[in-house]
Amino acid sequence: MANLLVIDDESSICWGITRLGEGMGHRVTSASSVEQGLDAAAAEPPALIILDVRLPGQDGLSAMRSFRELCGDVPIVIITAFGDLQTAVRAVSQGAFEYVLKPFDLAQIRSVIERALRPAPQPASPKEEESAVAGVIGRSPRMQAVFHKIALAAHADAPVLLRGETGVGKEVAAQAIHHNGPRPDAPFVAVSVAALSPTVAEAELFGHVEGAFTGAQRTRRGLLAQADGGTLFLDEVAEIPLAIQAKLLRALDQGEVLPVGADQPVKTSFRTIAATHRDLRAMVHAGDFRQDLFYRLCAYEIELPPLRDRREDIALLAAHFARTRRPDASLSAEAIAELESRDWPGNVRELRNAIEHALLVSPAGDIFPEHLPPIEPKAADPAASRNLESALADRARELIADPEAAGQVYNRYLEQVEPPLLQAALDQHARQCAPAARALGLHRTTLRRKLDQLGVDADP
Ligand SMILES: Nc1ncnc2c1ncn2[C@@H]1O[C@H](COP(=O)(O)OP(=O)(O)OP(=O)(O)O)[C@@H](O)[C@H]1O
């Protein structure tokens, strides 16, 4: 049996956790403020403290130090309904055992209590300094969970893989991990792999010596060497050509790079944070990404949710972008409602651009719906086209394997894929053969013949 101390000004939370703790065979004391909690802890040292952040009087986070002074290394579980990155970083950096977001279910708290009371848990080494850099904005539960993960990642040195659609904030998350980590002043070197041409990628990443190739007039340090002591952010990591993947893996494993044309390696050691919008695991299965490099880059994964799945953040982000551009800017309730109703396929980047557009067209800086750019037409869904591609490839394989189709595979395949194309072209051109043929790049008589074969009517 252990003594648990719950400090929360919501009596229903204290009541629920007390029932749960007693049911688990522990003794539970509850308090509704830090002051009451300290008195209770002084009277009876707890084996676990469950501490709310927002409390009347002193807040839970700043009270952690007092509880530690009074009770030593007791595990402290922080619970909060209003997590932001700063809160998560402070909680984790002060050695909080766990950071639980409200509303939680009691099964979650039960598991935390069990883990906290397990013998000899090793809390992460506390970091005294507080984070000065937030930069990542969001108040939705999905982002609060991301903040917690960023805080944990910042505290460790493990390679992190950030996943998420374009514009969700993978790079800002990478910067937050770096700036909240142990070496915020060390270099943060961002490499956009997709933007590197394959011919220069190797020299850019690993450096080169003078005369290594035409145009290499001076020896140049590569990006991996520039990241020495700090963080290398590999954006669009899925685009690294396979040949470079092998060299990158060697560099990561051995802590040194061999610049193009050099015979002596250069030592470099850094933390990696990689980002991608693609399914890297599927690429590994398809043989397009090295499995060993995948594991080397991905000890810890953080998924950044698309903006449409966290609409609660839209007003906050919009206000932030508006104020950054123009401190006296204001957003009308109607503009916020319009922003919240959109789907934002380009995510936070698209929202930021929309606000910049609005401030350009609203000279007074007051943003109304009419100042917002029109909704972007929907881009083709890449997942749908991937499904289509794989369906077509499956059908091709079936036909090739079908003994009855032998010798006619090509024509039979075309017979299946051609009709929808011809039909769509006719529909688009009011069933007129001539403009449909022009759009398709076919001769009119060829199209006519194909339509006749298919039994499709059309005007000449
Ligand atoms: N949570 C956030 N708080 C504040 N700004 C954000 C946030 N998320 C994204 N942004 C802003 O949105 C823009 C796009 O973010 P970022 O470049 O980090 O996205 P990304 O996921 O790396 O995009 P891509 O995959 O296209 O490289 C940047 O201007 C960034 O500052």
Q: What is the pLDDT of residue 124?
A: 25
Taking the whole predicted model, whether its pTM rises above 0.80 is answered as no
172 lines ligand 1 (CB under 6 A): yes
- Quick check: do 3-141 and 156-303 share a fold? yes
Q: How far is CA 254 from CA 149, 223, 237, in A?
A: 28, 16, 20
Q: How many other C-beta atoms can be found within 10 angstroms of the C-beta atom of residue 242?
A: 11
Q: Does domain 156-303 correspond to CATH entry 3.10.310.30?
A: no
Q: Which of 349, 351, 353, 356 to mutate to test the pocket of ligand 1 (most atoms within 8 A of CB)?
A: 349
- Label residue 410 by pLDDT band (50, 70, 90): confident
Ligand 1 atom with the shortest distance to the CA of 137: 3
Ligand 1 atom with the shortest distance to the CA of 351: 12
Q: What is the pLDDT of residue 382?
A: 65
Tokens 């007074």 -> residue: 364
> Given a cut of 60, is residue 345 above it in pLDDT?
yes
Ligand 1 center to residue 314 CA distance, Å? 13
164 lines ligand 1 (CB under 6 A): yes
List all residues 6 or more positions away from 288 whose beta carbon is below 8 Å from its beta carbon. Answer: 238, 242
Ligand 1 center to residue 347 CA distance, Å? 8
277 lines ligand 1 (CB under 6 A): yes
Q: Does domain 309-371 correspond to CATH entry 1.10.1040.10?
A: no
271 lines ligand 1 (CB under 6 A): no
Ligand 1 center to residue 455 CA distance, Å? 53
Cβ neighbourhood burial of 286 (10 Å; 0-12, 13-18, 19+): exposed
409 lines ligand 1 (CB under 6 A): no
Residue 123 · residue 95 · CB < 8 Å? yes
Within its chain, how far is the Cα of 70 from the centroid? 39
Question: Using one digit for the tens of pLDDT, what is the confidence trace for 185-219?
Answer: 999 999 988 777 767 888 889 988 887 777 777 88
Write down the domain spans for the chain.
3-141, 156-303, 309-371, 393-454
Q: How far apart are CA 138 and CA 313, in angstroms?
A: 5
Residue 304 · residue 140 · CB < 8 Å? no
Mean per-residue pLDDT over the chain, rounded: 86
Q: How far apart are CA 51 and CA 32, in angstroms?
A: 10
CATH superfamily of 3-141: Response regulator (3.40.50.2300)
CATH topology of domain 393-454: Arc Repressor Mutant, subunit A (1.10.10)
Beta strands in 325-383 (DSSP E): 330-331, 366-367
Question: Using one digit for the tens of pLDDT, what is the confidence trace for 284-313?
Answer: 998 889 999 999 999 999 999 999 999 999
Q: What is the pLDDT of residue 385?
A: 66
- Label residue 224 by pLDDT band (50, 70, 90): very high
Residues 111, 115, 116, 118, Cα dihedral to 10°: 140
